[in-house]
């Protein structure tokens, strides 16, 4: 099995999609072993608990500095034997120490077709507001590797979603989740777990 940590900050519908696929036996050799939230009291933590997955809160504020936050994160990931880190609506930026500890082993889901509507400041509804304001007719979601550039790592999977004439940021956000995010994130996770397992088998 390949041990996965899912990092969250909010409602956790992408976490739920991963849990559902795992329960349906569709996450390949991936095993969600840990959920880390950057905020206390979020619904994603309840989803983890209901699924019987260990969870914890690591908040940047409580850590005092970005460096301490990164250190704490790496030490928890390593002590739990985590091999793949999945960012599912995680709103804290990861520092170099975390990225260097998991080269090509951290992935993120972004709710647009990168390189459109991405980078610093493009999160949550803001992404969909920007797409509507620009007037694009197609948007979507992207799963990509995480490096030191926000939304800048290489792309793993993308899926397009059509924009409807009467869309609001909220209806568009929902459709992008339903038609793209909840499918792509588990798919990319399963693909990478397969790769990691093969690497381990060949050692």
Residues near ligand GRF (CB under 6 A): 8, 10-14, 44, 88-89, 109-111, 177, 181
- Residue nearer to ligand GRF on the CB measure, 71 or 93: 93
CB neighbour list of residue 89: distance below 8 Å, 6 or more residues apart: 8, 9, 10, 11, 12, 13, 14, 15, 44, 109
Q: In this complex, which beta carbon is closest to ligand GRF, that of residue 111 or of residue 186?
A: 111
Nearest to 70 by CA among 81, 84, 59: 59
Of 125, 16, 38, which Cα lies nearest the Cα of 90? 38
* 142: number of Cβ within 10 Å: 24
**Nearest approach, Cβ of 114 to ligand GRF (angstroms)?**
11
In whole angstroms, what is the distance from residue 102 CA to residue 99 CA?
A: 5
Closest contact distance (angstroms) between CB of 47 and ligand GRF is: 9
Rounded least distance, CB 88 to ligand GRF, Å:
5
Give whichever of 71 and 91 is closer to ligand GRF, judged by the CB atom: 91
Catalytic machinery residues: 110
Closest residue to bound ligand GRF by CB: 89
Distance CA 47, CA 16 (A): 7
């Amino acid at each position: 099995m390949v041990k996965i940590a899912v990092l969250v900050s909010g409602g956790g519908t992408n976490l739920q999609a991963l849990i559902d696929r795992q329960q349906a036996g569709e996450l390949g050799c991936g095993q969600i072993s840990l959920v880390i939230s950057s905020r206390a009291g979020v619904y994603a933590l309840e989803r983890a608990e209901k699924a019987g997955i260990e969870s914890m809160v690591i908040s940047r504020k409580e850590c005092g500095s970005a460096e301490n936050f990164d250190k704490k994160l790496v030490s928890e990931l390593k002590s739990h034997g985590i091999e793949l880190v999945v960012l599912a609506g995680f709103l804290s930026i990861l520092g170099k120490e975390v990225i260097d500890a998991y080269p090509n082993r951290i992935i993120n889901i972004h709710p647009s077709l990168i390189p459109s509507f991405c980078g610093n400041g493009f999160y949550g509804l803001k992404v969909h507001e920007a797409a509507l304001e620009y007037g694009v007719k197609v948007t979507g979601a992207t799963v990509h590797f995480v490096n030191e550039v926000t939304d800048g790592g290489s792309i793993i999977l993308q899926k397009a979603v059509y924009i409807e004439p009467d869309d609001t940021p909220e209806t568009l956000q929902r459709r992008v989740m339903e038609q793209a995010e909840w499918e792509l994130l588990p798919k990319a996770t399963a693909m990478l777990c397969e790769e990691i397992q093969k690497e381990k088998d060949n050692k």
